[in-house]
Structure 1
Amino acid sequence: MRKQFILLLVLACWGAGTWGAVPHEKKYADYVNPLMGTLSEIQLSTGNTYPAIARPWGMNFWMPQTGKMGNGWAYVYDHYRLRGFKQTHQPSPWINDYGQFSIMPVVGNKITEEERASWFSHKAEIAKPYYYSVYLAEHDILTEITPTERAAFFRMTFPESDESRIVIDAFDRGSYIRILPEENKIIGYTTRNSGGVPQNFKNYFVILLDKPLEYYAVWKDGKLCEGKELTDNHVGAIIGFKTRRGEKIHARVASSFIGFEQAERNLEELGELDFDGVKAEGEKVWNKVLGVFEIEADLDQMRTFYSCLYRSVLFPRMFYEYGADGKPIHYSPYNGKILPGYLFTDTGFWDTFRCLFPLLNFAYPAMNAKIQEGLLNTYKESGFLPEWASPGHRGCMVGNNSASVVSDAILKDITPREYHLPLYEAMLATANSCHPKIKSTGRYGYEYYNKLGYVPYNVGIKESAARTLEYAYDDWCIAQVGKKLGRPQAEIDLYLKRSQNYRHLFDPEHNLMRGKNEDGTFQSPFNPLKWGDAFTEGNSWHYTWSVFHDVQGLIRLMGGNQNFVGMLDSVFQVPPLFDDSYYGGVIHEIREMQIMNMGNYAHGNQPIQHMIYLYNYAGEPWKAQYWLRQTMDRMYRPTPDGYCGDEDNGQTSAWYVFSSLGFYPVCPGSDQYVLGSPLIRKARIHLENGKEIVITASDNRADTPYVKELKLNGKTYGKNYLRYGDLQKGAVLNFRMDNKPDRKRGIGIQAYPYSYSE
């Protein structure tokens, strides 16, 4: 009887959560599917992602490699052979990789990619943000990886064999390898990159084994060579052991862009922990970062939300290391020097200015403060703010959207004050110049833009209308910072005037934006469905809405709310017709629009992702609520084909994170979020300042996308936007959802979000 009483007491304490006074840790990372979006190819992207096994914003990621060396599609879900486990810094298959090398356990002297490749099954694969495991069937080896920010721990379980081996591949285009058998160590460097680096670029790596090397050799171009050291186009090493079945061999791995000594220092991130200790630490880090958002929704919605949030905190990646004094230092991909301070890379602002960086400002401001310091360092080292960095300036996309990224952080007082003026000066310099070699950095065509108010269509500058529209918004951003810093009024007025340059491209005949020639005539002929040409990865139906800062000005140009809403409606009503002649064939972005059965709405690419929210500016917010819910429900899944286009460094993911909470930053640089339709039932957001935002959405189901009522801090709230400052103080948002639109709520001009013209 006494034993039964004790047992019941123990069970009661455990059930009440008091066992050992240890609270239950919520494992948000368990909802994440790192394979979301990996079923992609050149012709059709369902994300163009790979399973990034990493720490949040980590310098080095690790991934299983199904593709051949140099293939940007390095892991594709429906491929069934693994060639290695690669340290990667790839932000996108279109940008490709740099600083890459791989490790592959095998049985026998199988060196080349084809020789060492092994069949595997997703049923024998575990992918979590902080841990990856897979069974290599042809070698009978279980491989596990768990990383830190700059190092990683491998655990390889071998069969019984006299020829258990590990192949280290430093890749081609110039590499070095050296075996130190007395230290159970291999060091080397790789220079394989896809651009954006100076001549002295190297990624130095060190691999430390916990078992004495019983066999070792270096190799070149897949063939064994004599000696312990080798430098050539494509070199590597192979080391070996005799193993009993089930024997585990551990490898500690780290790398550095600074040198071998720094790589050894980075190896210290693993500390004295064993594999499971590093794995547990990684899980804890991820749960803390993801746990900023506690949400309650359907299981698949939970999985999609946290998978998207995981993607949102991978990039931009750290490109700094900690020196002997514990202070941040970095190798500069802009001038090849070793310099103090933070640096971040691997993001394209054409994508991520829209809501990825606003998400950092909202939920992770301390990290973005470091990123802003890193942007200033980029300017100091190159003379320009970056637009697409990987790791240095890359020739990709259009716009000067660093102005948006910098201004939003300054205006929200996230950037340290000592960097406000230097970053403002960097914005001015970048806005009035163009990189001599990389036309996507700075403002290509700025001379025309500053003189005429637009970049002409017929002067040899491609995608001129897209550039003009984005430059105009960026000028508004510059003006807002100028106001905050008390700059001369003439300077502020200049950029405010330029912020209205979007008007030059508006064609009242079509109610659309259109390229304009140097003499002031519109481009002719004009096909609103033509992708590219005057626009970037989209057509006029997509880019016309790129007036983030002055939607009311655009509404007036279109003739008022009714016409504006009609044009918004038409995006969904026009069939998915297109003209691909600019590209000479159907690019994947076109195909992704075509197959989604949402007319000409192309959510798989970034230019139109804010468009649905614009119904709020014209008095019909219920249409935004309907189409937002359609987009979330139909275009996102926590599966390998889970995205409707390129995920793009967290932007498409951050759209889902914001939208599922019920609001979105249409105009970064303003203090407003435009309201939508919350997908979640409940959310608790833990802000860095210690405050909390609590969101509830009663009666929220698939058939109730419409907002019947919203209360803010207990009071009925009728506006179509929320303010950043109000939310940062802590707030309670109570949505009441319905299956019918409320055509009386949010219809007056006093409810409309910010526009410069108002």
Structure 2
Amino acid sequence: MKRSIILLFTFCWSWVLAQNNQQTKFVQYVKPLIGTGAVDTNSLSGSNFPGPTMPFGFIQLSPDTRDAPDDPASGYDYNDKTIVGFSHTHLSGTGVADLFDVLLMPSAGEIKLNPGNAKVNRSGYRSSFSHDQETARPGYYQVLLKDYGINAELTATGHTGMHRYTFPASKQSHIVLDMDHSLDKKRGYWECRVIGAEIKVINNHTLEGYRIITGWASLRKVYFHAEFSKPFDSVLMANGNSKPHAVNVINGTAVKAAINFSTTDQEQVLVKVAVSPVSIENARMNMASEVAGWDFEQVSRQCADSWEKELGKIKVEGTLEQKQIFYTGLYHAFTQPNNMADVNGDYQATDMTIRNAPDKVQYSTFSLWDTYRAAHPLYTLTQPEKSAAFINTMVRQYDTYGYLPIWQLWGEENYCMIGNHAIPVITDAVLKGIPGIDAGKAYEAVKASSMTDHPGSPFTAWEKYGYIPEDIESQSVSITLEMAYDDWCVAQLAKKLGKTEDYDYFIKRSAFYQNLYNPKTGFFQGRNKDGKWLSPFDPLSYGGNGGSPYTEANAWQYTWYVPQNVPDLIKLMGGDKNFTAKLDSFFTLANKPGNVNGNASGFIGQYAHGNEPSHHIAYLYDYSGQPWKTQYYVSKVLNELYDTSSSGYAGNEDCGQMSAWYIFSAMGFYPVNPANGVYAIGSPILKSAAIRLPNGKTFKVNVENAGTLNRYIQSVKLNGRTYNKTYITQNDIMNGSTLEFIMGAKPNKTWGTQAAARPAGWGYINN
């Protein structure tokens, strides 16, 4: 009897431990369907995809709900009712679509590869689905294709997608392979067309092929190798509107294939698809290296385990919703940049040659106008090895292309957005001492990229006028302000390396923003090369990506963009009183013109959290002696503009930037200047956070009285000592400090208000 009681106790205790271990898994908080579709279809939602991918992996295997994806750019809209298939490459959170390579779709019954003008079933094989019969988690996606009674399951490795389709009994079961599926070829910002493609039958369980396609990336080569767990009975192929017929190979510009089977009830057919940007041989190699067998569960588990490791780099406590937003944010932030190198290190360089990366990594998908602000500073804390690899990739682009990336996709420069924000990313990493970077070579690339004319950065005019004239280059105010910041970064790196002449040169250029400040209007304002201000001037008037002095914003939003020298900006505006009064107006002026840019959303007054130019502005009260207002607005954004629904973001998630803002801000601090080693303090909403640092130490944040109503800081301690500064430094974090907050419902207007408490606004902080 005693032995039985002991065994029973041991069993129960083991069960409790197992449950506790399961409960501590970070992946359980990730909800990939966050940010996949707006409740209000006229607003932005995130533009994220729900399918499986490895951290920073090449493959993003996910359902597409549109025949010709365009908006949302991820290819999946939560509001859609049908799925057209599962393609292997996607963009996460971008405002523009591309990729959607190698689409597979299972079906049963009669199939039409070329349905012509059919209105109800345009693809010929799409199916309805329900979110009640859909599952998405790290390493796994599942959906029931209702029209066919087929259960589709997906998982992924770094370069290979794995499908598991459970069919009904049918003599007409199919898996469609569509090499024509792409972003919308008839409309968009640029021409998209398939230049050439091929599908080839290798044997009765293997297909291979490629396509060469234009789009946002000007020329992409995509090679695939696909293996089926069940030998297929036949393959029908078609190009364009040609009649499908049984052949072993087909070439063309709109090629598709129907792989045909007979299936018994609940029979599972698995497919493995490896993709390479280099060659079919490399695609084969990628599969052989990553998925030798057919164990779907093992592949899914390995993918989830990889995510568990990455997500565990920050441990937080808070409400369930807060943890779901936080860890889904980390998931989205760690989805890209993507490793474009094959398993042997081969990659296609920007000069279209095939090169080899000795470290087997070559990253792409650099949405730098967005991610330099907070996502890359987050990577330096949580992903230092990958940060070094990102920068080595950027320097390789400089070697083959002449300057650093602006917006790099599929290894190619697409010139999207303005400035050259690889510069602050490299500067930040070098100044923080990230190992694995050749600082001399990095500086060579940074300096050259700051003196070479290219789209979005016209340096000849910059040198001549001391600003960018609008009649020489549109988006002139935004370009001027952002180039001035980039120049400040070059100056800091020059100073670090003892290049005094260069420091003096670039620090002078970093003040060129002053030449566009109009003291009569109180805004940064466009002017022509003759020096005259543009008129009429309306600070509420929005620009897009040309035709206005402002990029995806208005004068109200860009007037706060001097992160390299906020004290000087305060001085330009007439001192603390005028500065804070203008900030107050910014956050309360609700008037919006009818032509608000499509990227502007998540409004609090003129603050538009849905796009990046606004992201640092709530923290600027810290610099002018009224930090309780920073706490108010940061808390408001955290609690009102993020949630766990399909419309959980206030705008496009933008490759991790929208998430990184939440991750930093929820812990209580944010890098206003992402390259000076200073983090302005806001309003933490989590009960605690612990960042596991690469040096083996842990930076901790503990919050007393955390809660939606307690948005105001009452007091702060750093390492047990009273702390009145409204910022912490990189060294505070890397030393493994403990930051303690006591929060309350009313502002403490004495904490952090002294001039000495304000964030340093000039130079790099080393203590």
Q: TM-score, normalised by structure 1?
A: 0.93
Q: CA deviation at 1:191?
A: 2.1
Query: What aligned pairs does 1:291-302 form with structure 2 within 5 A after superposition?
Result: 291-302=312-323
Q: Contact between 1:119 and 1:138, CA under 8 Å: does it hold in 2?
A: yes
Partner-residue secondary structure (3-state), 1:217: strand
* Rounded Cα–Cα distance in structure 2 between residues aligned with 1:191 and 1:26: 45
Partner-residue secondary structure (3-state), 1:736: strand
Structure 2 match to 1:227: 247
Out of 179, 185, 199, the residue aligned to residue 177 of structure 1 is: 199
Structure 1 match to 2:186: none
Q: CA deviation at 1:109?
A: 4.3
Query: What aligned pairs does 1:466-615 form with structure 2 within 5 A after superposition?
Result: 466-487=478-499, 489-532=500-543, 533-578=548-593, 580=595, 586-590=596-600, 592-593=601-602, 596=603, 598-615=604-621
Structure 2 match to 1:135: 144
Partner-residue secondary structure (3-state), 1:338: strand
Q: Contact between 1:42 and 1:588, CA under 8 Å: does it hold in 2?
A: no
Q: CA deviation at 1:38?
A: 1.5
Query: What aligned pairs does 1:52-451 form with structure 2 within 5 A after superposition?
Result: 52-73=51-72, 74-91=75-92, 94-98=95-99, 100-110=101-111, 111-112=113-114, 114-171=123-180, 173=194, 174-182=196-204, 184-198=205-219, 201-221=220-240, 223-268=243-288, 269-272=290-293, 274-323=295-344, 328-341=345-358, 342-391=361-410, 392-417=412-437, 419-435=438-454, 439-440=455-456, 443=457, 445-451=458-464
Amino acid at match of 1:456: P
Taking every aligned residue pair, what percent have the same amino acid on both sides?
A: 33
Q: Contact between 1:321 and 1:329, CA under 8 Å: does it hold in 2?
A: yes
Unmatched segments (≥5 aa) in structure 1: 581-585
Q: Deviations over 1:316-356 (max 9, x none)?
A: 11111222xxxx22112443433435321112211111101
Q: CA deviation at 1:521?
A: 2.5
Amino acid at match of 1:330: Y
Out of 667, 688, 701, the residue aligned to residue 695 of structure 1 is: 701
Structure 2 match to 1:656: 662
Q: Deviations over 1:1-30 (max 9, x none)?
A: 3574144322453266389xx965732122
Partner-residue secondary structure (3-state), 2:608: coil
Amino acid at match of 2:530: D
Give the root-mean-square deviation of aligned CA atoms: 2.0
Partner-residue secondary structure (3-state), 2:235: strand
Unmatched segments (≥5 aa) in structure 2: 115-121, 182-193
Q: Contact between 1:530 and 1:579, CA under 8 Å: does it hold in 2?
A: no
Q: CA deviation at 1:212?
A: 1.5
Q: CA deviation at 1:305?
A: 1.0
Partner-residue secondary structure (3-state), 2:298: helix
Q: Contact between 2:346 and 2:354, CA under 8 Å: does it hold in 1?
A: no
Structure 1 match to 2:24: 26
Amino acid at match of 2:426: V
Q: CA deviation at 1:516?
A: 2.1
Q: Contact between 1:43 and 1:587, CA under 8 Å: does it hold in 2?
A: no
Amino acid at match of 2:99: Y
Q: Contact between 1:318 and 1:343, CA under 8 Å: does it hold in 2?
A: yes
Amino acid at match of 1:154: H
Partner-residue secondary structure (3-state), 1:76: coil
* Rounded Cα–Cα distance in structure 2 between residues aligned with 1:752 and 1:6: 61
Partner-residue secondary structure (3-state), 2:123: helix
Q: Contact between 1:553 and 1:757, CA under 8 Å: does it hold in 2?
A: no
Flag the 1:736–1:93 CA change in 2: closer, same or farther, 3 A: closer
Partner-residue secondary structure (3-state), 1:374: helix
Q: CA deviation at 1:124?
A: 0.3
Partner-residue secondary structure (3-state), 1:479: helix
* Rounded Cα–Cα distance in structure 2 between residues aligned with 1:125 and 1:11: 35
Q: CA deviation at 1:756?
A: 2.1
Q: CA deviation at 1:731?
A: 1.5
Q: Deviations over 1:703-730 (max 9, x none)?
A: 1001111111111111111111121121
* Rounded Cα–Cα distance in structure 2 between residues aligned with 1:416 and 1:288: 22
Q: CA deviation at 1:395?
A: 3.0
Q: Which moved more, 1:299-308 or 1:210-219?
A: 210-219
Matched, 1:737 2:743: yes
* Rounded Cα–Cα distance in structure 2 between residues aligned with 1:304 and 1:9: 37
Q: CA deviation at 1:292?
A: 1.0
Q: Contact between 2:350 and 2:397, CA under 8 Å: does it hold in 1?
A: no
Q: Deviations over 1:359-402 (max 9, x none)?
A: 10121111111111111111111111011111211132111212
Matched, 1:638 2:638: no
Query: What aligned pairs does 1:665-676 form with structure 2 within 5 A after superposition?
Result: 665-676=671-682
Structure 1 match to 2:189: none
Q: CA deviation at 1:43?
A: 4.3
Q: CA deviation at 1:576?
A: 3.0
Q: Which moved more, 1:516-525 or 1:665-674?
A: 516-525
Q: Contact between 1:646 and 1:652, CA under 8 Å: does it hold in 2?
A: yes
Q: Deviations over 1:393-429 (max 9, x none)?
A: 1132111212111111111111524x21112111111
